[in-house]
Structure formats: structure tokens, C-alpha cells
Amino acid sequence: PGQITALPALAQIAVIDNSNLDQRAQDEEHSTKSQESKSDEQEKKKSLVCTYTNKYRSQMFSRSPGEALSRDAENAKLIRYYAQKYGVPEGLALSVAYQESRFDTCAGSHTGVKGVMQLTKRTGRQLGFDRDINE
């Protein structure tokens, strides 16, 4: 009785969306570039069937750095590419790969480490690998 109740007022307010649209366009562009980069990386990767004999394996691990680079030039090229991409000194990345596997993507051991850099499954997962290390 006698009370006035205030109702919510609705009003139209002019909003300029250009700044939001510009940011959205930039985000979409970055997303597209990211997808292109992922596709490029996937093309550079190879799945391998590792069926080396013990004799070949022992020969492989007696190779000099020059022989290993020559024999697995494609792997060395990938190591250089990813070292540059992620800001790792090329010499360091190549040295680790040579010491751990002689650039052999099929390298592994009884401890469960795999691949050129000899990553454990746990370390691979922590670094974001959600697939087989050799892919």
C-alpha cells in the first residue's frame, strides 16, 4: 500500500566493437599459424619400424660424429630445426643426440628410454608428448 517499486530500466548503449573484433581477428590468425606449424611439424616427423640386427647396432655405436651425421643427415636436420625453433643451441642438441643415440630414432634401452634424445616416457609426457616418442 502506497509503496513505489523500482523496476529495472533497460537502455540501449552504443558500443564500438572494432577493438574486440581486431583482437579476435589476431587470435584467429595466431590459431591458423599454429595449426599450420603443427601440420608442418607432423610432415617432418617419420614413423619407423625398428628392426636392426645386433651386428648393425654395434656398428652404429662405433660411428664417429662425422659418420653419424652423414648416415643420419635427415635426423640431424630435424634436430637443428627444432633446436632453432625452441632456442636451444644447435651444438648442444646435436651433442646430446650423438651421445645418447648416435642420431638413431630407434635407439632405446632396458630402462625404457627411447628415441634420439633418450627420453623416458614420464619426461616425454611432462614435455607434452602424447604419442610414441619415435613418431
What secondary structure does DSSP assign to the chain, as a single string? --PPPPPPP--------HHHHHHHHHHHHHHHHHHHHHHHHHHH---------HHHHHHHTT--HHHHHHHTHHHHHHHHHHHHHTT--HHHHHHHHHHHHTT-TT-B-TT--BTTTTB-HHHHHHTT--S-TT-
Query: CA 9 from chain center: how many Å?
Result: 53
Where are the domains positioned within the chain?
54-127
On the question of pLDDT at 83 being above 80, the answer is yes
Tens of pLDDT, residues 21-52: 676 677 777 777 777 776 666 655 544 456 66
Over pLDDT 90: what percentage of the chain? Answer: 10
